[in-house]
Amino acid sequence: MKILIVEDEVKTGDFLQQGLREAGYNPDLARTGVDGLHLALTEEESYQLIILDVMLPGIDGWNLLQVLRLNGKQVPVLFLTARDQIEDRVKGLELGADDYLIKPFAFTELLARVRTLLRRTRSSTDATVLRVADLEIDLLKRSVTRAGQRIELTAKEFSLLLLFMQRQGEILPRALIASQVWDMNFDSDTNVIEVAIRRLRSKVDEPFFPKLIHTRRGMGYLLEDIQD
């Protein structure tokens, strides 16, 4: 597991790097905000956690975190702050830090926080795959499988299925489907939704058992694993 430490105090940086290495992680150490930012943005195999000192020469921890988030980097960040001030912690959390630790700290405390943050990331990564019965949708790969078989969907069909899966068991009225998937106001003259649902069913339901997409006449549609 790759961890980036950004810490300008030589002793603290070395101590963190050594401790994390002994704990089985693969830590890189940057001694300035500029180097830290460069590593965080350019490393090919991305970091799973950044331990970030607030007070750094050049780019400080706040700025570094802001630039990371602006660049779409969602890596968890553990802030190290020397100042035991509530404003600092609030500011860090508002900027998108995931946790903070006040210096001086015991290494065992840091390790406990690191483990928690890494565990949290792993479970949220899993949440990019949604499942209902044997139907799976992978949000990162934008792929759909049922009973292990890959199913090719158009972009609209994918959005439609995603909506159903995110709100499984809920009856979704046509107007809601129209606004969420087609970004349009529902017009009862159009049968675009019926057509799309028929196509989706022919791909994800008809060749399989049980049927997952159900019609509730006069109310809408729902996706649910109802075996009765």
**Could you tell me the CA-to-CA distances from 58 to 63, 91, 113 in Å, in that order?**
10, 19, 27
Residues 112-151 that bind Ca ion (CB under 5 A): none
Pick the closest to residue 6 from 30, 28, 34, 27 (CA basis).
30
Q: Tell me the longest C-alpha to C-alpha distance in the chain.
A: 71
Output the smallest distance, CB 12 to Ca ion, in A. Answer: 8
Output the smallest distance, CB 17 to Ca ion, in A. Answer: 15
Output the smallest distance, CB 162 to Ca ion, in A. Answer: 44
By CB under 5 A, residue 35 contacts Ca ion: no
Query: Which residue type occupies 160?
Result: L
Q: Taking CB under 5 A as the rule, which mask of x and - marks residues 2-31 in contact with Ca ion?
A: ------x-----------------------
Output the smallest distance, CB 62 to Ca ion, in A. Answer: 12
| Partners of 213 in beta bridges | 223
* Beta strands across the sheet bearing 143-146: 129-132, 135-138, 143-146, 149-151
3-class SS of residue 56: coil
In the bound state with Ca ion, the residue whose beta carbon lies nearer, of 34 and 55, is: 55
Residues 50-69 that bind Ca ion (CB under 5 A): 53, 55
Output the smallest distance, CB 55 to Ca ion, in A. Answer: 4
As a whole number of angstroms, the distance between CA 89 and CA 132 comes to 40
Of 48-56, 101-109, 148-156, 193-201: span binding Ca ion (CB under 5 A) = 48-56
* Residues in touch with Ca ion (CB under 5 A): 8, 53, 55
